[in-house]
Amino acid sequence: MKNLASFAICVLLASCGASADKVTVKIDGSSTVFPITEAVAVEFQREHKDVRVTIGVSGTGGGFKKFCVGDTDINDASRMIKDKEIKKAKEHGVGFIEMPIAYDGLSVVINKDNNFVDFLTVEELSKIWKVGSQVRTWKDVRSTWPDVEMKLFGPGVDSGTFDYFTEVINGKPGACRSDFTMSEDDNVLVRGIAGDKNALGFFGYAYYVENRDSLRVVPIDNGAGPITPTMETINKGTYAPLSRPIFIYVSEAESDRTEVKNFVHFYLDHAPELVKAVGYVPLPDSVYVRDRKRFDDKVTGRATTGG
Amino acid sequence: MSWLDTANLNLRKRRRRALYFKSICSLFTWSCFVLLAVLLVHVGHKGVGLIDVDFLRNAPSWRPEDCGIWPAIAGSLWMMGLTALISIPCGVSAALYLEEFAPKNRWAHLIDVNISNLAGVPSIVYGILGATVFVRFLALEQSVLAGSLTMSLLVLPVIIIASREAIRAVPSTIRHAALALGATPWQTVVHHVLPTALAGILTGVILALSRAIGETAPLITIGAVAYISDAPAGPMDSFTVLPLQIYSWTTKAQSEFQDLAAGGIVALLVFLVIMNGIAVWIRHRAEGNAN
């Protein structure tokens, strides 16, 4: 008994030290935005050794729950703030500055060995994914395709990715058939689709880029001909409607603190290169300039409709 | 056929059945072992090469080659230490009270049933409880202390149940002898019951703490962070833990991070082995003292 207690105390003492009087920038939110914010935080702390940045991954909604009551300084969000969340923020006197910081191109992917799918139209996607969809085989989607069963994969219903996809494809966030394999971990989806010849699924562009060898991306036709997601088509907005902006929300009250201000400036200055480095698509430069002006002028409320 | 032949036939049948049963048991035992070996080799093969001084000393990064695991190791150490400090005294006292002092009435029975049920509650529920009570209500924020308190709740039922088993196994003749020689109940417990039960109690404690060290879900709920650049400086600091760091790496797109996750898993395994090693050592000593 005594031994164990003294062991525990030793452990505590051993892990003491370092970082006592650092100021902290507290961030939480979407796991989709996490890699970008992490990259910015790492680079930022190289230059500002007296600041500590912490980043949680409670998800966009979970993050807003903390942000809207003033627990965090910045929220990573893979969708825009909802009316309900704005109301909550107002109740707690939290003002927010919304800043789009990158694009994510939701990629619809199939197995490498699938050789009959050339492209999909938005209508066909909706036919596959809508609530109560009758699509069971590839033939149900297009009559010239083979009569083999289709296996569907998608992100979990709590993710911003799922909300966005269902909104633009099925017309309402969250409206979707439920008989598909879902996982919060995109790598699980990648493995599932890579291992099943008849699979179809969707997830963020970065995961497609890293797994080009085992997956094939499907060009999407929104009326102007099939477009393949690439850095360029996503950045220019021609890969529609599946390119979506992702955001950071900065608390207005906290934006006066030097470390928060420095961090946001650093974020916007280095976003183009760092966003690309972690596999996402940078916004046009003008958007970062506009972001910065909004931040410096403390323009609160919703920023944009899109990028 | 005489009755002797029938008996012999029966005996042979029964022996054969016993043999089947034995083979099946050993088959399962060995397949567990093979699974563990496959896991260790697979993870070790990918992960061991990654572990060097920099990996143990650095903070995580977006560049895989710069990545390290120090904040997670320190966070896990902090959390284990605090959890042990909180849960062991509480758990062992509760077990002692229930076994040695509490009247055996309906209330005791109710508490009994509740503790057993609590041991089976999914860990995420404790996370939600911790987020409400410790993080919000007690305003401990997303600190190591809040995490440790949550973890203590999670492991308490296991510690209590294991300690009670150990205390119950102490022969009542020892108690009777102590009491007969004029020891107070307190002296009986401290000088005789507890030392005799110590080995069993420690086994339960280590099992419970080993469970706590691998938990991720409740800590995400109470707000343990996925990225932090240094070790916690005190119990009120933000923190991350090894399993959370590993999870964060496995969900990244770049395959280099999957390898880092393997390195993290090896670190976690080493951690567990050290903890268990210390437990075995303490147990050994305790058993030596008791005899």
pLDDT digits (tens, 9 = 90+) for B177-199: 999 999 999 999 999 999 889 88
Residue B134 is given by DSSP the state I
Quick one: A84 and A120 in the same domain? no
Quick one: A69 and A111 in the same domain? no
The residues facing A28 across adjacent strands are: A75
Quick one: A113 and A99 in the same domain? no
Residue A33 is given by DSSP the state T
Give the one of A5, A12, A18 whose C-beta lies nearest to B78's C-beta. Answer: A12
Neighbouring C-alpha atoms within 13 Å toward the C-beta of B162: 21
CA atoms of A301 and A272, how far apart (whole Å):
24
Quick one: A113 and A170 in the same domain? yes
Quick one: A118 and A47 in the same domain? no
Q: Which residues constitute the domain of residue A213? A: 107-228
CA atoms of B220 and A29, how far apart (whole Å):
11
Residue A307 has pLDDT above 50, yes or no: no
Break chain B into its structural domains and give their ranges.
3-50, 54-290
Residue A119 lies in a domain: yes
Q: Which residue of B has its CA nearest to A39?
A: B62
pLDDT digits (tens, 9 = 90+) for A20-34: 567 899 999 988 899
Helix segments in A138-284, DSSP class H: 138-141, 160-170, 186-194, 205-210, 231-236, 258-277
Subunit contact A4:B88, Cβ cutoff 8 A = yes
H or E, element range at B16: helix B3-47
Residue A171 lies in a domain: yes
Contacts of B238 in chain A (CB under 8 A): 24, 26, 54
Q: Indicate the residue among A199, A228, A257 that finishes a domain.
A: A228
Q: Which residue of A has its CA nearest to B256?
A: A210
> Yes or no: is domain B54-290 CATH 3.10.450.50?
no
Quick one: A196 and A133 in the same domain? yes
Helix segments in B48-64, DSSP class H: 53-57
Strands ordered across the beta sheet of A181-183: A181-183, A151-155, A199-203, A107-111, A215-217
In order of A2, A194, B148, B271, B281, the CA distances from B278 in angstroms are 14, 44, 21, 11, 5
Torsional class of B37: left (φ above 0), alpha (ψ -120 to 50), beta (otherwise): alpha
Quick one: A159 and A186 in the same domain? yes
CA A223 to chain B, closest CA, distance in angstroms equals: 31
Interface residue A58 vs chain B (CB under 8 A): yes
Q: How high is the pLDDT of residue B1?
A: 61
Residue A146 lies in a domain: yes
Mean pLDDT value of segment B9-27? 91
Quick one: A135 and A97 in the same domain? no
Q: Which of A7, A10, A19 to mutate to test the interface with B (most CBs of B within 10 A)?
A: A19
Mean pLDDT value of segment B105-126? 89
Subunit contact B251:A31, Cβ cutoff 8 A = yes
Quick one: A96 and A118 in the same domain? no
Quick one: A114 and A196 in the same domain? yes
Residues 6+ apart with CB under 8 A from B230: A18, A19, A52, B59, B70, B71
Residue A269 lies in a domain: yes
| CATH code, domain carrying A94 | 3.40.190.10
ipTM here: 0.79
Query: For residue A96, which phi and psi values (nearest 5 degrees)?
Result: -135, 145
* Number of structural domains found in chain A: 2
In order of A243, B44, B246, the CA distances from B38 in angstroms are 42, 10, 19
Q: How many CB pairs under 8 A join A and B?
A: 131
Residue A17 has pLDDT above 50, yes or no: no
Subunit contact A8:B227, Cβ cutoff 8 A = no
pLDDT digits (tens, 9 = 90+) for A65-76: 889 999 899 999
Residue A235 lies in a domain: no
Residue A11 lies in a domain: no
pLDDT digits (tens, 9 = 90+) for A183-214: 888 889 999 999 999 999 999 898 999 898 99
Neighbouring C-alpha atoms within 13 Å toward the C-beta of A280: 29
In order of A192, A201, B28, B175, the CA distances from A197 in angstroms are 10, 12, 35, 70
Residue A234 lies in a domain: no
pLDDT digits (tens, 9 = 90+) for B37-95: 998 888 888 888 778 888 888 888 888 888 889 999 999 999 999 999 999 999 999 99
In order of A62, A102, A238, A244, B180, the CA distances from A235 in angstroms are 28, 9, 8, 10, 86
* Cβ(A281)–Cβ(A104) below 8 Å: yes
Quick one: A150 and A221 in the same domain? yes
CA B66 to chain A, closest CA, distance in angstroms equals: 10
Quick one: A88 and A178 in the same domain? no
CA atoms of A73 and B142, how far apart (whole Å):
14
Residue A5 lies in a domain: no
